Chain A
Amino acid sequence: MADLSTNFLGIQSPNPYWLASAPPTDKKYNVLRAFEAGWGGVVWKTLGSQVKNVSSRYSAVDYNGSRVMGLNNIELISDRPLAINLREIAECVREFPDRAMVVSLMADNTREKWHELIAQVEDTGAHGLELNFGCPHGMTERGMGAAVGQDPDIAKMVVEWVMEKATIPVITKLTPNVHSVVPTGRASVEGGTNALSLINTIQSVTGVDLDTFVPNPYVAGKSVYGGYCGPAVKPIALKMLTTIAQDPVTSRVPISGIGGVSTWKDAAEFMLLGATSVQVCTAVMKHGFRIIDDLCDGLNNWMDEKGFKTIYDFIGKSVPTITHWEDLDINYHIVANINQDKCIHCGLCYIACEDTSHQAINLTYGKPYNTYSIIENECVGCNLCKLVCPVDGCITMVEQRKGDEYLNWKEFQRRGLPLNDH
C-alpha cells in the first residue's frame, strides 16, 4: 500500500484530496460529512464582507446524455454571518485535527480589513489561508476576486498585506480569466505567498433557453456570466497548471491543483504536472462525498503498480515532457493500423479522415459491412481515426520513423530539407 499522506507547507492531510472552496464547504454540517467520508482536507468557502445570494445559482452543460459535463455558478462568497463560520471552523478543526483546514478569504480591499480577517481566522486553529483572487462573478464588480487576480500589481500588494500578518501558510488562488496565469502567479510569489492554487472558475455562459431566450442560470428573466468548472475545464486547468509548474519563479512554491478533478486518474494527472494536493468540487456536487473512496483507492493501486511509495515520488514527473513545438522530433512518424479482427465496420474512422483529414482510409464496399484499410502513404499519423474509433485497440498507431536521428524544426530549416509537396 502506497502512502497517500500529504504535507503541504506543513499542512498535513491523510490524502491529497481537499474539497475546494465552494458550496460543499460552507458550513460545519457538510464539512463533517466530508471528513467522515474520508476527505483529506477542505478549503472553507470564502469569508469576507456580508453578501446576499440569488436564486437560481447553477446551470450545467450536458453532453450526449451525460449530465453536468460542465457546471456554472453565480453564487458569491459565503453569505452566512462571519461569527458563525468562524465558530464552526474551530469546531471542525477540533473534531478532525488530522485533516487539512484551509480557509478561503476575500476581504474588502484595505490592509486593515485583511489583517482583521486573518487574525479572526487564525484564532480558529485553521492550518492555512487561501486568498480568493479568482471569483469571476459578483465580487469583481466590487473590486475583489478576479479583479485582484487579473492585475499582477494589485495582487502583489494584497499578498504583501497578507504576509505582514499571517502566521500560517498562505496559498494564493489564481483566476484563469487572463491570457496567462503566470504574471499574477509571479507577482504573488514575489509578494511572498507560500503557495499557489489554480484554477478558479472560468467566466461562461452555459447556454440559452430556447423557449425563454434567456441564458442560464435564469434569475427573474435575466442571467449573468457565471464561473465554469467540472470535467469540461480540466484540459484548460492542466495547461495553466503546467505553465505555473514550468515557470522559474512560480515553480518555487507548491501548487494545489483545481479544475475538473473527478477521478483518481484526473488527480494523478494534476500531480504529474506539478500539483501537490488537488481540490475537488463539481464531482462531489454531482455525486456526493462518497467518491473519496475510489479517489484514494484508485490512486493507491496505480501508485503500487508504478512502484511509487509516496506522492512525492511522482509529483511534477511529467512537467519536463511538455516542451516547445520547435523542439519536437520531426523524424518521428506514425501511421494508423486497423485491426480487421476488432473492426466493427462503423465507418467513423473513414468519414473523419475522408471529410476532414488526409483521405488516408480506403473503403471497400460490402453489404452490410464495408471494409476499411489504411493507405499508409497518405497517413500523416494525426491520431484522428484512432480517437473516433469506438473499439479500444482496434486502431493503433505504428511507428515508422522518417529517420533515425532526432531532428527538430530549427535544424530542419537550417539544413533546407524539403517541405510537403502537396
Chain B
Amino acid sequence: MAILNNRLTTEQYEHNFSDIHPPFETREAALVEANRCLFCYDAPCTKSCPTSINIPKFIKQITTDNLKGSAYTILDANIMGGGCSKVCPVEKLCEGACVYNLLDEPPIPIARLQRYSTEKAIAQKWPLFQRKPSTGKKVAVVGAGPAGLSCAHVLSREGVDVTIYEKESKGGGLMTYGIAAYKVTPQFCEDEVNFITSLGGITINYGQELGRNLTLADLQATYDAVYLGIGVGVARHLAIPGEELEGVEDAIRFIYDIREKGYPSVPVGDKVAVIGLGMTAIDAATQAKRLGAKEVTIVYRRTQAEMPSTEVELNLAKLDGCNIIWLASPKEVLGENGRVTQLVCQIMELGVPDTSGRRSPVETGETITLDVDMVIKAAGQIPYEDLVNTNHLTNWSGKLAINDNCETNIPGVFAGGDCVNGGKEVVDAVQAGKDGALAILHFIKSERVQE
C-alpha cells in the first residue's frame, strides 16, 4: 500500500473529472423542460431557495426566448447563480420543493435551466447590471468568497466603491477551492468572479490576509464600513491518537490541491478512509476514488437518517464505488514508520437526541479496524477562532456573533457566510452577503445623516 500520485492516464483523469451534470446541448432540449414548468404562484421552489430566485419567472423567460431577462432574474437575486446551478444541493432546495414531486413526476430540472441561462450570460459577458454613480463611500470586504462577492456586488451597484481583500490568489472562495472539480471547473470559477467584478467599482487585492498582512483596525480607519466574509478554516481535528501520522489529510487541503495543482500531481492512497458524511466528505471520497484509489471507505458515526449529505450526494459516492460504514467513530490511527496503516473505529449506537435534534451516537465498546494508508478528515471545518478573538470580535466557538443587522459587536464591522454560520451552502453565503450589503447601505446612510 502506498500514497501515490500520477495513478491514471490523462484520458482517465479527464473522464473521471468531467462535468457530472452536463448542460442542455440545445435550445430545444432546454425548452422541453422549461415548458413543463407550471409557473406556480408564490412558488415552493422560490421559497426553498435561500436567495429567493424567482424561478418560475426565469423559466418562463427561457420559454419566451428572453434569455437576457432570464439571466437577470437569476443573477439579480443571486450573483453566483451560475456557480450555484452547478453546486447547489437542489434536491433539498428548489427541485426538492417542485410541485411535480407531489405528482410523483420528476421535478423541473431547475439547476440545469438556471445553468442554461447563466452560462451564456457569463460566457458572453452580458452587461446585465449598471452601477449607480459613485457615492464616494468606501467599503472593505474581507474574503472574495460567495458572501464577500455577493456583498460587494450589491454595494457597488448602489455606487459604493468596494475593495476586497483575499488571502488566496483567486476569488470565489470555497466555490473555487473547496468543491469537487467535476461539479465546477476552476476556469468557470474564474469567469464567474470576472463577471461579478465586470460591474466596476470592485477591486480585489489578492494575497492579503487578515491577521497576517492586514489588520481590522487599518480597514476600519480607511473605510466607511467593513464586511467580514472570511469563511472557515481547516478540517476539524479528530483529537485521536495517530492524527499526526503521515497519510492523515485534511479534506479541504485535499480538494484544494486537486483544484490548484492538477489531478496527476495529487497523491492518493490505495485504501482511503474518509471521516464524516457532509458534502465535503462526499467530494473528498469521490475524488479520491477518481484519482485512482483502489478502495475508499466513508466512516460515519451516525446513520443515514442523520447524515448532513443529501441522498443524491450519497448515491454519487456509492456509484463511484465508495464503501460506507455507518455508526463507526474513529478511535485511533495506527501506523508503521510514521505512516498510516490502520484506522480503529468505535462501533456506535444511537442514543438520545442532542441539541441538533439528531440522536447522538453512543459508544458500544466494540471496535473494528480498517487497513488503510490514507485518512481524510472531513468532519466539519473549524472557524478562525484565534483570529476573531485577537480582533475582539464576539463569537461562539469561533463563529462570529452578529445582530439582526448583520453587524458584529464592533460598530461598522459586518459579517456573514460560513464565518457566522459555521459552514453552509454557497447559496446561503450569497444571501448573507446580500443581507450584509443592505445593512451596510443603511449604516452608511444613517452615518451620513449623523454627519
Contacts and interface: CB of A to CB of B under 8 A. Distances in A.
Interface of A: 64-65, 344-348, 350-351, 363, 367-370, 390-391
A347 B103 contact: no
B102 interface: yes
Interface stretch (B39-47, B144-152, B248-256, B319-327): B39-47
Interface of B: 31-32, 34-35, 38-45, 47-48, 63, 97, 99-100, 102-103
B48 A346 contact: no
Nearest to B41: A347
A363 B31 contact: no
Top 5 closest pairs, chain A to chain B, by CB: A347-B41, A368-B44, A65-B35, A351-B41, A344-B99
Contacts of A367: 47
A347 B97 CA distance: 14
B42 A347 contact: yes
Contacts of B40: 345-348
Nearest to B103: A344
Given A64-B35, A65-B32, A65-B35, A347 B47 contact: no
A345 B63 contact: no
Nearest to A350: B41
6 contacts: A345-B40, A346-B38, A348-B38, A348-B40, A368-B97, A369-B97
Contact of B102 (A65, A344, A347, A370): A344
Nearest to B45: A368
A243 B63 CA distance: 38
Nearest to A64: B35
Interface of B is mostly: helix
Contacts of B31: 65
B258 to A, nearest CB: 35
A363 B35 contact: no
Nearest to B42: A347
Given A346-B41, A348-B39, A368 B102 contact: no
A41 B100 CA distance: 44
Nearest to B48: A368
Among B34, B38, B42, B63, the most chain A Cβ lie within 10 Å of the Cβ of B42
A350 B41 CA distance: 8
Contacts of B41: 346-348, 350-351
A60 to B, nearest CB: 16
A315 B32 CA distance: 39
A345 B47 contact: no
A346 B45 CA distance: 10
Contacts of A344: 99-100, 102-103
Contacts of B32: 65
Given A64-B35, A351-B41, A370-B42, A345 B48 contact: no
Contacts of B97: 368-369
B100 to A, nearest CB: 8
Contacts of B43: 346-347
Contacts of B102: 344-345
Nearest to A66: B35
A368 B99 CA distance: 10
Nearest to A365: B42
Contacts of A368: 44-45, 47-48, 97
A367 B35 CA distance: 25
B42 A390 contact: no
